[in-house]
A and B are shown apart, each in its own frame.
Chain A
Amino acid sequence: MDEIRFILNGRETAYTGGAGDRLLDVLRKDYRCTSVKCGCGEGECGACAVLIDGRLMNSCCVAMGAVEGAEIMTLEGYRETERFTVLDRAFARATAVQCGYCIPGMVLAAEALLRRNPHPGPEEIREAISGNLCRCTGYNAIVEAISLAAKEGNGVW
């Protein structure tokens, strides 16, 4: 049987299930990456967003066949990085975490933004997280946190 080979959080991985399986389900069930949340299952809310080759993608809309050769990063891997530490401190200071369900996707959205633009303005931040729904915060605290991280993480991105 053909395997689907990809890198998950820095580790070479071979998936032997179907090419049509949803990445979201595979990450949660087969690899126990439960930071990846399902908020809608149809690509609208961003709770399941992961980084695929550095790009933010909703894993509920990605079939396993499409990740052959790709590098996938979930919060399970990202939380081990220095960049995460900077975001962690900033989110804590801005009290940007309420229920927490949107946070894994939101953090990866912040990473996807900061790696291409280390010093974004508030409007760019809002645009970059506009595919990630948060019902708790009204977004101000999250925008402030990402702004703070960009400032304090000088050189990390």
Chain B
Amino acid sequence: MEDISRSVVKKDHAPKMSGRSVYVGDYETARDGRPILFGKLLHSRLARARVLGVEVPPLPEGYFYVDAKDVPGDNNVNIVLDDTPVFCRETVEYIGEPIAMLCGPDEAAVRRLASECRVEYEELEPVLDLRRAQESFFDYEYGHGDPEKAFAEADRVFEEEFETGYQDQTYLEPQGMMAEPEADGGMYVHGSLQCVYYVHGALARALGCPREAVHVFQDVTGGAFGGKEDFPSILGCQVAVAARKCAAPVRCVFDRRDDLEFTPKRHPSLSRYKVAVKDGLITAMDIDVRFNAGAYSTLSAVVLQRGIIAAPGVYRVPNLHVRGRAMKTNTAPSGAYRGFGAPQTFFAVEMMMDHIARDLGMSSLEFKERNLVRQGDATSTSGEYHFPVPLPAMVEEVDALSDFRRKQREYAAPQTGRYHRGVGLSLVYHGAGFTGSGERDLIKAVCRLRKSAAGEVEILASNGDIGQGVRTTFPKIVARELGLPLEKVSFAHPDTGRVPDSGPTVASRSLMVVGELLRRAAIRLRESWEEGREQEVEERFREPDYLLPFDLDAFRGDAYPTYAWSVSAVELELDTCTGQTRVLGACGSFDVGTPVDENIVRGQMEGGFLQGLGYSSMEKMDYDGKGRIRNNSFSDYLIPTAVDVPRLECVLHVEKYPDGPYGAKGAGELPLVGVPAAYAEAMEQALGGDGRVCHVPFTAEDALLAMAAGET
């Protein structure tokens, strides 16, 4: 094991372990000691309606009603586009859309006032069904070769459709933001969030003030997984507008039901695949992907880009046509969640490959291995796999751990008795960093190291610890390069008043991209080190020179500098009487390059894997004919507990990346991406017969339905 991989006690261990960490809901007062007003959003109760007026009950002194009229700047939250309002415009577009915020000192009184507001609506017909949705926010198309010719010349052509549902991030700490007006007219906004500079940019626009007049701090954040990428910008603008009107600090912390119902979730998807096979090899794919974006575009452009780039999977597809659309529906805007569009399409392509193999009378693994990409091959976007593709070796690791091949043969024989078993395996990648030229053209990360006269070094970067460990891994890198003990290097939660913009905490980029900048900065500091003097060094992002520049209009070039890889296997047992399943074992091999702290990386792999198992099996969330999400509590939306998957084993396969720190690649998202396909393949085997699993989550009810259909 590399020295850097040796695990240390995490820098934030002690305060979190002892319960001393201060999350946004824990502040007793504002920074200057003023009491904090309680903010409660008034949510739309209809999926689509014109808001004719709001009858507000008489407000006692010190209580306020805040809506779009109070937004001093632009009533649009700057995300990718600017279509998401701070408070609703003339219409509401989904159930839960914020119409106004009630604020005041007493929580119970504010809740009562909010419940007494009478909104007069003119109800309009909502669009709820993804299949019937007409309006697309984004419509992309790309490809290469001559698919039409390949389909004409194919031995066989396979067509199928796959569906995936919502998944809620279910960070344990719900969304929460707080705004404190400052004496000099500035606004201090802090809370549970991933991207201080996203919130910062959105605030300046909504408040109509110069960027220097706002500053944003990340409080200790109780999990995020993508769910606190865009939403804190919206909630941050709302509390800031409210704080400006009330001239007092305002905090809004969501309760779990509102959080599950109204905040962003993984995009539901519908993917249609048409695949040509000749001589046992894939010769063409024609793929049509639709994502349910919800009512506003928020992050859908970038989620969709990643989803459709991954759509052909880890296979060589000489002729390709992909179309992807993010459709508007009158539902809560979908957003970022670990994997960011890729889990949906990887599920579809892996199941497609399984089904083709079955129709060809081959083992799925053999068919997949025959069609795998290799180093030097073109990517889906005509870029290149510049580095070795370690999947074949990783398959062997997983086979050794799980006895996959033997079990797959064994369980293929007709099973009798009440309990039937199955195994499944999937192969995926995750491209680390922003899609395309985002790092070079949009983010342009900058970070700094500041050395005190006493020789202590502080890291100045805008990436936030959300549980993934950057407060520890960043200092580990810097301490190693400077030859300092870890205690001498610190990295506080980011505050835009102090740190440069090293980009958002997203896309598994923090360690790979910013970690490498810090490593280079530390080398420069080491080389210029002067005892007893204060020093500062700055480092800026440079794109690796081997990359084929990505053209977003044509979807051509290297979409990612490198790829993390995973092979996941699931073994389960299906109770044919109840439809319930037990995961007997789950294991995976993950190549995220060199782990910059083995325990931290292992924790990411295990946590992501379990989220993937939840997504596959039990995390079902849907809305009714009115557009209302009913699974808005932990008794209706189930996430895995400690007893659900007792045997979960993750191993690390190290293929070093020369442009990441010590060979590290992006890690956080990868482990979730391949799990649904592995689970679904295992389920198919347990179901036996011709049963096909074409959607996730695949619940006990789905298993019962499939078995009932198989019997008739």
Contacts and interface: CB of A to CB of B under 8 A. Distances in A.
Contact of A99 (B223, B639, B645): B223
B590 to A, nearest CB: 13
Contacts of A97: 10, 12-13, 16-17
Given A47-B172, A103-B19, A138 B648 contact: yes
B467 A100 contact: yes
Nearest to A45: B634
A44 B17 contact: no
A142 to B, nearest CB: 7
Chain B binding site: helix, strand, loop or mixed by DSSP?
Answer: loop
Contact of A133 (B599, B602, B634, B646): B634
Contacts of B137: none
A138 B172 contact: no
B327 interface: no
Interface in A74-111: 74-76, 79, 84, 88, 91-104, 107
Contact of A138 (B223, B225, B600, B606): B606
A102 B467 CA distance: 11
A43 to B, nearest CB: 9
Interface residues of B, number: 58
B390 interface: no
Nearest to A97: B16
Interface size class of A (residues with CB under 8 A): 35 or more
B21 interface: yes
B256 A142 contact: no
B225 A135 contact: yes
A11 to B, nearest CB: 17
B670 to A, nearest CB: 14
A133 B256 contact: no
Secondary structure of the A side of the interface?
loop
Contacts of B224: 99
Nearest to B608: A138
B642 A101 contact: no
B642 A92 contact: no
Nearest to A128: B642
B255 A41 contact: yes
Interface stretch (B23-31, B372-380, B420-428): B23-31
Interface string A3-40: 00000000000000000000000001000101111111
A92 B646 contact: no
A44 B631 CA distance: 14
A2 to B, nearest CB: 21
B610 interface: yes
B23 A101 contact: yes
Interface in A118-132: 122-123, 125-127, 129-132
A137 B607 contact: yes
Nearest to B15: A100
Interface string A129-147: 1111111111111110000
Given A99-B223, A136-B467, A37 B172 contact: yes
Interface string B584-607: 000000000000010110110111
Nearest to B646: A126
Interface in B529-545: none
B416 interface: no
Contacts of B608: 138
Contacts of A125: 642
A102 B18 CA distance: 12
A126 B600 contact: no
A53 interface: no
Contacts of A136: 172, 223, 467, 603, 607
A143 B642 contact: yes
B223 A130 contact: no
Contact of B18 (A38, A79, A99, A133): A79
A107 B25 CA distance: 20
A134 B172 contact: yes
Contacts of A88: 14, 17-18
Contact of A95 (B19, B26, B28, B603): B603
Given A94-B599, A126-B643, A135-B223, A40 B633 contact: yes
Contact of B633 (A42, A47, A95, A135): A42
A75 B603 contact: no
B221 interface: yes
A99 B467 contact: yes
Nearest to A32: B28
B603 A98 contact: yes
A40 B168 CA distance: 14
B549 interface: no
B9 interface: yes
A72 B25 CA distance: 22
Contacts of B646: 122-123, 126
Instruction: Name the residue among B14, B15, B17 with the largest chain A CB count within 10 angstroms.
Output: B17
Given A97-B13, A101-B223, A122-B646, A140 B606 contact: yes
A138 B639 contact: no
Given A101-B172, A102-B172, A38 B16 contact: no
A39 B606 contact: no
A75 B17 CA distance: 9
Nearest to B472: A95
A138 B170 CA distance: 13
A90 B114 CA distance: 46
B607 A138 contact: yes
Nearest to B27: A34
Nearest to B20: A35
A77 to B, nearest CB: 10
B63 interface: no
Nearest to B28: A32
A112 to B, nearest CB: 14
Contacts of B639: 133, 135
Most B C-beta atoms less than 10 A away, residue of A32, A37, A125: A37
Interface of A: 28, 32, 34-42, 44-45, 47, 74-76, 79, 84, 88, 91-104, 107, 122-123, 125-127, 129-143
* Ranked 7 nearest A-B pairs via Cβ: A35-B19, A100-B16, A101-B222, A99-B467, A138-B606, A44-B634, A95-B599
27 contacts: A32-B28, A37-B173, A38-B25, A39-B256, A42-B635, A88-B14, A92-B9, A95-B603, A97-B10, A98-B607, A99-B171, A99-B172, A99-B222, A100-B12, A100-B220, A101-B23, A101-B171, A104-B19, A126-B642, A126-B643, A133-B170, A135-B171, A136-B223, A138-B603, A138-B645, A139-B641, A142-B642
